[in-house]
Structure formats: structure tokens, C-alpha cells
Structure 1
């Protein structure tokens, strides 16, 4: 496809979408599917096409996390945790957490970075949200597959104890991150100064979500408060579905995450529908 080989600016990209859509009559679903696919190509090119370090950093970030915390944990407590080699333990929880964090933050920035496209009626803010979620999921899945292959080659056991439930929980987490990202996008559209605060808030979440240590190692007196965090539930559930002998901390529930996600999506989509014209017509975000 010549489209993949050309470096389209935003206005040319939108004109191409418009031209393709008027060549023959198509349903609204077909038009939206084509727009989302074109947005995914544009997003992937923006991430990797012009900056080689973008592709490299995508792989280097989790590797750096793994190396730093594996060395620190080995010095402090030994090489295993919950009867699992510590690098495997961290990777199983870290990979989905980074996926959810990156998805939410990328959606938060979507309005500002795609504003030039909203002058064309085929492209809506929701399309850019969906495209970014799909691109981030594909990137994270690719990076995780590379790391799993590397770990398996090195001799670690990377089998998944309950693959169907693992995929279901990962999908639930992506939906949660999608709803969270939409809410953050709406909030920062109204109050752009909160973006830095929100980014900083994900740093303590990294530690209190059980990414680096089992949730049972966290302060038990604070556990009722920590269990309000859906990330903690997701990480614990994913570990229990991958590691055969891992037991989640008491109180972890997939029902809680499911309910939280449904409510979050209801708020996000309802707020988006109420403010969709305002999102396009103003320059905030």
C-alpha cells in the first residue's frame, strides 16, 4: 500500500480519509472502521516512523525496570518470591500494569495531539481513543512476547497456568484503562494544569499495586484502603492465572474490577456524549 510508505501530515491524512469515504457508498460502521484503521497507521507511524528511539525505548523501558528491581530485590531478599524467580514474578505483573498506565495516559493526550483532524466530520475524538487503545495493546503484546521468548530461551518457565482466564482478565484491564483514559481526557480538557499531577500520581500506584512485591507484603493495616485500587486487583488476578502456586491476597475480586469498569465506562461515555461538540470546538486538552 502506497499509504504506508508516505509521510502524511494531518491535513493530507484527513483528506485521504474523506476521499476514500466518498468513492462508494458505505455504511457508518464501515466508514468508522476505515477511519480507525487509518488512525492506527498514523499513530504507529508517529510513534516509530520518524523516531528510531521510540521503537527502542518501547522495549528498553520494561527491560530497565526488570533489571533495576531484580538486582535490588536480589540484594535485599534473595532471588525468588512466592516460589517464583523474581524476574518472572515482576514481568507477569509489570507488563499489564505498563499497558494500562500507558493506555490511560495516551488517551489523556489524544485530544491535543489529534486536534487538527477534528475539522473533518468523519473523525471524532472517540475514534482517536479507540485507535490509541488498539495501538498500545498491539505494542505491549509484541514487547511482552519478545520478553517471554527471551526469558524462555534463558531457561525460565513462562507457561500460563490458566490461559483463558488470563486473557479475560487482561481484556477487562484494557477496558478499565480505556474508561480511565477517557475520564482523564475529559478532566484535563477542562483543567489542563492537572496533567502533570495525574502523571505523577501513577508513580506511587506502581508500588501500591503489587507490581514489585506480592500484595501480601504491603502493610496489612492499610489493606482495606489499598483494595480500593483496581490496579491491585488486576495485578494479583493476573499473577494467580499465570503462576500455578500464587495465591492472591484476601479481598481481591474480579467482580470488583468488572463493576468498577462498567461504572467507569458509563461515566466516560456519558460525559463524552454530553461534551463531544465542546471537545472539538475548544483548544484545551
Structure 2
């Protein structure tokens, strides 16, 4: 039998982990696959009705449901990625007895699964919106894809760091999960960042999610103008620093992570 290279082994390991993660995400409940679609639809319906009652039916020249979908879909992907990576060590601890499987492999597998699920759900919603009569064209598609990937890299770095932190302090998991709830509102998912309090804007602009969602909306919606202070350079710099910090910490603690007494 021809020996396999390290790359081939790594590819096989990640592929097997992707299949395992997909089965766990979609097959652990009868409604698992359906809920992936129901969750964003419920968000859209509830907040679209509330916004229509309180203000109007459009924002920045587009229908409010389209405005929300463009920002909500990426945010849910990034949130789910970070939180799923945070739980990866505990949920895959039994696999680390195999020397071919490393914690980093489980991180990569979870990112792939979450991205595929989010892309499928977004595609279904886009086709549904287009069939209903909404304009779902992307104004600057190449820049949009690049920003989406940048946000995914940021959430990967954040999730890895959260996994390392909660591995040492598991009691922080609940606090971290709760912290994503206010982020949902202060990141501009439901309203343009220009609607947020101007006095708090210098503080709000420290949040990379706000920058990412503003950039995404500007690249999708032709008439949308990001709030002053939004910068792609800030997101890139923040992501690079976070990635180096996460990978450095992971390398320093990688042997401790696979211990069956931890996680």
C-alpha cells in the first residue's frame, strides 16, 4: 500500500470531521435542518413587522427585509462560527486520542460546515426574495465576497481564542454567549449604524462586526453609505492581530488541549 503524505492524511481527517459535524448539526434533531431556515425567517418577519409599524418599510432606498437579510445572514454565520468553535474542544475531546486528529482540525471542519449551511440558507432566502419581487442583485460582488471571507477569518480567529479561554475558564461560556445578544443590536444588524447614538459612535466603532456589516451593505446596496469611521483596514489589522494571538496561544497549549482531563 502506497504511503500517504502528511497533506493527504490531513485532508482525509478534515473531510471525515466535516461529515461528522454535518451529521451532528443536521441529524441530531428531526427539525435540525428545517430550523436552519426557520431561524433567519423568524428574525426577518418579526423585525420587519416591528420596523414597519414604528418607522417605514424601506431603509436607504431598499425594502427593510432586504436590508436586514444582507446584514443578518453574515452576522449569524460569524456568531455561529465563533460559538461552535468555542464548544469544539469539549464536544470532540474523545477524538483527540487518535494522533492524526488535532484540535485545529476540528476548528477548520466546523468553519467549513457552518459556512456551507449559511450559504445554503442564504441562497434559499435570496431566491425566495427574488421570486417575491425584491431586487437581490449585489452591487459590487467581488468586494462583497472578499469582505465576507475577511469576516469569516475574523470569526475563526475569535472562535479559536474563545475556545482557548473557555478551556481554561469554562464558567465564562455563559457570559460569552450572553455577550453576543447586545452585539446583535450594536453591530447594525437591524438598523443602519447611522441610526445609533452619535455620542457613542467612537466606542461602537471599536466593534469589528459593525465595520464588517457596514462594508457588506455598502457593497450590496447601491445607495447605502457607511457611517464615518468604518474602515476595512481596521478589520484587517484587528483580524491579523487576533489570528496571531490565537495561533500563538494554541501552539503554546496544544498538548494541554488534547489531554483527556481537560476541555
Which TM-score applies when normalising by structure 1?
Answer: 0.91
Matches within 5 A, 1:226-241: 226-241=204-219
Q: Which runs of 4+ in 1 moved over 2 A?
A: 282-285
Residue of structure 1 equivalent to 2:34? 56
CA contact (8 A) 1:112 1:283 kept: no
2:238 aligned with 1:260: yes
Corresponding residue for residue 148 of structure 2: 170
Is 2:104 the partner of 1:122?
A: no
Match of 1:161 in 2: 139
Deviation of 1:48 after TM superposition, in Å, equals 1.4
2:9 matched residue in structure 1: 31
Name the SS of the counterpart of 1:228 in structure 2: coil
Contact 2:256 2:262 in 1 (8 A): no
Question: Is the CA contact 2:93–2:260 (under 8 Å) kept in the aligned structure 1?
Answer: no
- Report the Cα distance in structure 2 between the residues aligned to 1:243 and 1:66, rounded to whole angstroms: 18
* Separation of aligned partners in 2, 1:206 and 1:50: 27
Deviation at 1:24, TM superposition (A): 3.4
Task: State the 1:234 CA deviation.
Answer: 0.4
C-alpha deviation, 1:83, in angstroms: 1.2
Rounded Cα–Cα distance in structure 1 between residues aligned with 2:102 and 2:192: 41
Distance 1:194 1:237 in 2: 31
* Structure 2 equivalent of residue 86 of structure 1: 64
Separation (CA, whole Å) in 2 of partners of 1:64 and 1:283: 40
Q: How much has 1:47 moved relative to structure 2?
A: 1.2
For residues 107 and 149 of structure 1, the distance between their equivalents in structure 2, rounded to whole angstroms, comes to 30
1:218 aligns with 2:196: yes
- Secondary structure at the aligned position of 2:253 is classed as helix
Task: Give the deviation of 1:282 after TM superposition.
Answer: 4.5
2:170 counterpart (179, 183, 192) = 192
Per the TM alignment, residue 52 of structure 1 is displaced from its structure 2 partner at its CA by 2.1
2:52 to 74, 84, 90: 74
Q: Deviations over 1:31-54 (max 9, x none)?
A: 101100000000001111242211
Shift of the alpha carbon at 1:27? 1.0
Equivalent-residue separation in structure 2 for 1:24 and 1:188 (angstroms): 41
Q: Is the 1:192–1:284 Cα contact (8 Å) retained in structure 2? A: no
Separation in structure 2 between the aligned mates of residue 90 and residue 127 of structure 1, nearest angstrom: 33
Q: List per-residue Cα deviations over 1:145-180 (Å, max 9, x = no partner).
A: 000000000000000000000000000000000000
1:238 aligns to what SS in structure 2?
A: helix
**Is it true that 1:41 corresponds to 2:19 in the alignment?**
yes
Q: Distance in 2 between matches of 1:49 and 1:104?
A: 21
- The answer to whether the Cα contact below 8 Å between 1:40 and 1:135 also exists between their aligned partners in 2 is yes
Which of 74, 95, 98 in structure 2 is aligned with 1:96?
Answer: 74
How far apart, CA to CA, are the structure 2 residues paired with 1:175 and 1:79? 34
Report the count of equivalent residues: 263
